[in-house]
A = this chain, B = another copy of it.
Amino acid sequence: MVQRRNPYAPRAADFLSNISNFNIIESTLREGEQFANAFFDTKTKIAIAKALDAFGVEYIELTSPVASEQSRADCEAICKLGLKAKILTHIRCHMDDARIAVETGVDGVDVVIGTSSFLREFSHGKDMAYITKTAIEVIEFVKSKNIEVRFSSEDSFRSDLVDLLSIYQTVDKIGVNRVGIADTVGCANPRQVYDLVRTLRGVVGCDIEVHLHNDTGMAIANAYTALEAGATHIDTSVLGIGERVGITPLGGLVACLYAANPEYVKSKYNLPMLREIENLVAEAVEVNVPFMNPITGYCAFTHKAGIHAKAILNNPSTYEILKPEDFGLTRYVSIGHRLTGWNAVKSRVEQLGLTLTDEEVKDATAKIKELADVRTQSMDDVDSLLRIYHSGIQSGELATEGRRRLTDQAGDP
């Protein structure tokens, strides 16, 4: 189906792709807590966790219980909620942290350590032999508790490739559940992500998670490309909140995966909840949902230029790859502006139950453009103009030199 519509859609031969077979690790309650504005009290954390669970994310990741007393208490409280989503916590690659993490009741532990020369020099100061030794110790300990364990490097795209593959192969052999690649600084681009994930896919048998920062605005595309290359798990946060400008946003990821395979995404997630979850988190961290947010940005389904409006009215698929109704949203065709077109106006005339010929609609459209060159006309303005024009035609007044009179009437502020 997809192939017939679009010659560039994923090919059947693209056997590595997990575009239609992925899991979301939702990290609003971990990465999101690192957002400048974020301070989540216990009640808010529980509300967010429940909303994400109802939406259908497969995993919820929480701040390390080692971060503070309250972080630990909250982690324990969320584990006790009995959610369908698996609960993970995120710790440094250190036995002290691991011992505390496994006592909280989590379903899995995400372990991370910096492997780039930058972080090895300026952050923790450890060499690869030490990192490997500690990783093995921590992984075996967590596994002994019969819970999931992931091992991730940090700043993976600035780490030595051989070092990376070597440690991933080692932890894969001792039975880690997932390995993680992290673009901690947001420096990666889609083809780099594809190359690294594809290479890693040939080296390890376990699942592959990616964690992608958004400093250059490519985190959604990088996640998409990672899935194409064989990644299995994507980290997200609601609205992308996290360190600096954050990571792959949940809504954006859902948008691009829905565009690739709507039925699969609709079957996994409660899509109409997306807006509610975004509003919940936006309120908690005191930000606005960005106007250009995929799906829920307030103009995401607003069509304006005449040529777009005409085609949308004939068939929404012409200019929409996301169906607003699948997200509990509606489309809006704006016509009171200088870029309007007569086909869009004609559709409005019909909606108002008026009868005008095409020539008359074109005449009325010219009038709308004239007024809209001065200021944008609201839908009410346009409707009044069309009704006045229509009654002028009906009464015969407009048949001759009516346009000038119409101008005088409708031009009143």
Closest residue to A240 on the B side, CB-wise? B292
Closest residue to A317 on the B side, CB-wise? B118
Q: Does A157 contact B (CB under 8 A)?
A: yes
Q: Which of B123, B184, B244, B339 contacts A302 (CB 8 A)?
A: B244
Closest residue to A9 on the B side, CB-wise? B192
- Which B residues lie within 8 Å of A36 (CB)? 298-299, 302, 304, 334
Q: Which of B216, B297, B317, B322 contacts A255 (CB 8 A)?
A: B216
Q: Does A369 contact B (CB under 8 A)?
A: yes
- Which B residues lie within 8 Å of A304 (CB)? 34-36, 243
Chain B proximity mask over A59-91: 1 for CB below 8 Å, otherwise 0: 000010001111100000000000000000000
Chain B proximity mask over A186-197: 1 for CB below 8 Å, otherwise 0: 111111101110
The distance in angstroms between the C-alpha atoms of A311 and B124, with both chains bound, is 9
A:319-354 near B, CB below 8 Å: 319-322, 334, 337-339
Contact B6 A70 (CB under 8 A): no
Number of copies: 2
Q: Does A389 contact B (CB under 8 A)?
A: no
Contact B63 A339 (CB under 8 A): yes
Select the stretch in A222-230, A266-274, A394-402, A404-412 that faces chain B: A222-230
- Which B residues lie within 8 Å of A260 (CB)? 189
What would be 5 A-B contacts, judged by CB atoms less than 8 Å apart? Answer: A118-B315, A189-B225, A217-B255, A244-B303, A245-B291
